[in-house]
Amino acid sequence: MNRKLLPPESCIQLASNFIGLQEINGAENNPIIMDMFGQIGHKWVKDDETAWCSCFVNYIASELNLKRSGRLNARSWLNVGEDVRFPKVGDVVIFWRESENSWKGHVGFFAGYTEKGDIFCLGGNQGNEVCISTYPKERLLGFRRLLKV
């Protein structure tokens, strides 16, 4: 095994501490989400309504001293870490949105499979909060295992 890899369980353990963290509707912003943007180098973000799924994954990776995309677009994670075919709980999972060829996507941490083979994802900005949601397996772009910095 590559010694530069951190067990992916570390990612899901840390990320699960944020389950229930939500955006605040209206002019007010959740200071924890805003701090995450700042800590990963995006202090220019002015509100918690800015798409923050990639921010959340970047923040968790940063806290664990893992390589990260540094970007706010979900598909940027397709170039980080090692590609894995058989994910472990805590690996990064990337999905497409709107169409497979769109620039849009979603990113979070792999949390398992449903009986149908759909994918449980622990992520930020899922219904405007950190939670575990289910995504169709057909929307999968890839799984990535993160490397230490």
Helix runs in the chain, H state only: 9-16, 31-39, 53-63
Which of 69, 106, 91 shows the shortest CA–CA distance to 12? 91
Range of the domain at 114: 9-145
User: Does residue 4 lie in a domain region?
Assistant: no
User: Does residue 58 lie in a domain region?
Assistant: yes
- Domain with residue 27: its CATH number is 3.90.1720.10
Residue 8 has pLDDT above 90, yes or no: no
Note the Cα 91 to chain centre separation in Å. Answer: 9
User: Does residue 75 lie in a domain region?
Assistant: yes
User: Does residue 66 lie in a domain region?
Assistant: yes
pLDDT (tens digit per residue) in 81-112: 999 999 999 999 999 999 999 999 999 999 99
User: Does residue 123 lie in a domain region?
Assistant: yes
Its pTM stands at 0.94
CA distance 73 to 142: 15
- Residue 66 near residue 6, CB atoms below 8 Å: yes
Place of tokens 């472990």: 88
User: Does residue 57 lie in a domain region?
Assistant: yes
User: Does residue 3 lie in a domain region?
Assistant: no
Q: How many domains does the chain have?
A: 1
